[in-house]
């Protein structure tokens, strides 16, 4: 399994290409802009894109969904709570006001504990509400793609509609910190002192964990 981390869009979101070298099947996590470059990357690596996976429904993480879905035929995957919430007229209007393209409904809804297999790897969806109602972390072979639930040294904001700081803390305590300490953290933005971390390092150095949990 290969993981390629690349920054996309004007909000500098971390997008991840994860693929099986044997079968050439793969996924894109949060392809939020620079779609032409992502399509070129898929071509260069010979990847057959099976799923477009969103960690949550904010437009800065989903704005590339429709173009990539149209170009590749891949299915869009999102937690049902976020798909419903961000398809609402008022939330689409807010995203457009912020200058983002909105995405159509997801093809596949997931919930906590659901799994999808691609090539030789399986992704498990870990529902971590707080940043959004349906925010999910995606666990693949000891790698946790956390979106805006957990950054290196920080957490996602909780002052937007649908967010809850107390729910975010519960998600961190009961879902993320329950994972093995050597689990690798792949965040949704490059806000820390390095582009990736581990559960053990965040337990020792992330102030939202050391000070609130």
Query: What is the domain count for the chain?
Result: 1
Output the DSSP codes for 57-119: --HHHHTTHHHHHHHH-PEEEEEHHHHHHHTSHHHHHHHHHTT-------SEEE-TT-EEEET
Band (pLDDT 50/70/90 cuts) for residue 99 is: confident
Percent of the chain's residues with pLDDT above 90 = 92
Q: Which residues, 6+ apart, have CB-to-CB distance to 22 below 8 Å?
A: 119, 120
Residue 199 lies in domain: 2-210
Q: Which residues, 6+ apart, have CB-to-CB distance to 151 below 8 Å?
A: 187, 188, 189, 191, 192
pLDDT one-digit tens code per residue, 44-97: 999 999 999 999 999 999 999 999 999 999 999 999 999 999 999 998 888 888
If one counts every other C-beta atom within 10 angstroms of the C-beta of residue 108, the result is 15
pLDDT (average), residues 91-118: 91
**Are 2 and 19 a contacting pair, CB within 8 Å?**
yes
Band (pLDDT 50/70/90 cuts) for residue 179 is: very high
Cα–Cα dist 139/163, whole Å? 22
CATH of the domain at 87: 3.60.15.10
pLDDT at 177 over 90: yes
Percent of the chain's residues with pLDDT above 70 = 100
**Are 181 and 161 a contacting pair, CB within 8 Å?**
no
Ramachandran assignment for 12, one of left (phi > 0), alpha (psi -120 to 50 degrees), beta (any other): left
């Amino acid at each position: 399994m290969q993981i390629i981390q690349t920054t996309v869009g004007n909000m500098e979101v971390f997008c991840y290409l994860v693929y099986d070298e044997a079968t050439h099947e793969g996924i894109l996590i949060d392809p939020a802009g620079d779609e032409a470059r992502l399509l070129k990357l898929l071509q260069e690596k010979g990847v057959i894109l099976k799923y477009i996976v969103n960690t949550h429904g904010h437009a800065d993480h989903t704005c590339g969904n429709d173009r990539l879905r149209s170009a590749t035929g891949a299915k869009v995957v999102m937690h049902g709570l976020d798909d419903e919430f961000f398809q609402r007229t008022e939330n689409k209007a807010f995203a457009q006001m912020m200058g983002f393209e909105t995405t159509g409904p997801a093809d596949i809804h997931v919930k906590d504990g659901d799994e999808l297999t691609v090539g030789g790897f399986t992704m498990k969806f870990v529902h971590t509400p707080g940043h959004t109602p349906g925010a999910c972390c995606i666990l693949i072979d000891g790698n946790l793609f956390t979106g805006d639930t957990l950054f290196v040294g920080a957490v996602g904001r909780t002052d937007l509609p649908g967010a809850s700081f107390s729910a975010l803390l519960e998600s961190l305590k009961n879902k993320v910190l329950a994972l093995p300490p050597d689990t690798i953290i792949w965040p949704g933005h490059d806000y820390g002192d390095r582009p990736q971390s581990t559960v053990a390092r965040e337990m020792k150095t992330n102030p939202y964990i050391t000070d609130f949990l």
